[in-house]
Amino acid sequence: MALSDDVDHAFGDARRRWRQRWAPFAGVPRIDPWTSGVEFAFERSYVDSYVNYERAVTRELRRIQLHRWLHHGAGQAIEAAVAEARDADRRAPDRLRSLPLRQRRRLRRAEPWVSDLRIAYQTLLRHEDQGIALERLQMLLTEEIYAVREAVDAELSEGRGRRCVVDAIRRPPSRPAGVQEFRDVDAFVASDRRRAMPGWPDEHDAGGSDHGSFWRLENPLRRWDTSRWRLSWLNMHHPTYELYAIEQTQRRRDDAGVLRTTGRVWLLGALDDRGRVDETIGEIQQHAQRERNSLVVLAEAVSRTANQRSRR
């Protein structure tokens, strides 16, 4: 990653570009501003612009976090190279004595171990400067997120925008209370055989009707990395009326040639009425499914509705 020497200036340029791209009222036709239709269009464009900007800054922050993680790994190799060059410099006099006189004189004049040590230190200093610049850039992005969140929250408080979209961008990737996790579909089906596909185990998957295959969840340790999940409702064959989400990892064939699903499974809750399912997940599925932590917002909504149902 190429970094500008003046990080503040570089970030200022990026911020101006982002704000121009997500400028409020972008794309709204310039017609009579006093009609209610155009006023509504202005309001929607305004809040959507800020939400899009918050999404863009969050994505950029995750990218910088990735670069800092990679930078830390590269730093270990650079420090090892410095230690090796320092050791070579310390051992040089002893090694020279073991060489023939002609070769010894040539190496003493050139002193390549000194050059290697100098280059290693220069590399380390450049690496440390890059680390400082990355840290500074992350701090600036964090401050920018706080600023745009205030603008988004102000719009939401006026009844504009969709709370579920904003929540899916901001939520931490933690499993909500009341949601049960299974290590894979085998453990999920072993807990209740009614959850399996009719052709189990040849059809190595859980059954039910699907409600979106692009639900997302960040890795809690590497938040720039997101996984994709499928949501299903067990309302067919031997229904349990449970809503579950299964991680869409790469499927593999076992020794018997069966294509196996290996991702984690979240059991969100049970809803025995299609209308209640649509009411609970409809808006989130339509507008927030592809956001960074949409699965967490979905799980909270299903768990909340299921708990309300069980208390009646």
Q: For the chain, give every domain's residue range.
A: 7-161, 170-311
Does residue 212 register a pLDDT over 50? Answer: yes
In whole angstroms, what is the distance from residue 286 CA to residue 121 CA? Answer: 54
pLDDT > 90 fraction of the chain, expressed in percent and rounded? 38
Instruction: Please give the average per-residue pLDDT across 210-227, as a whole number.
Output: 95
Decide if 7 contacts 136 (C-beta within 8 A).
yes
Nearest to 228 by CA among 242, 213, 243, 244: 213
Q: What is the pTM of this model?
A: 0.75
Digit-coded pLDDT (tens) for 165-174: 999 999 999 9
Structural element, H or E, at residue 266: strand 265-270
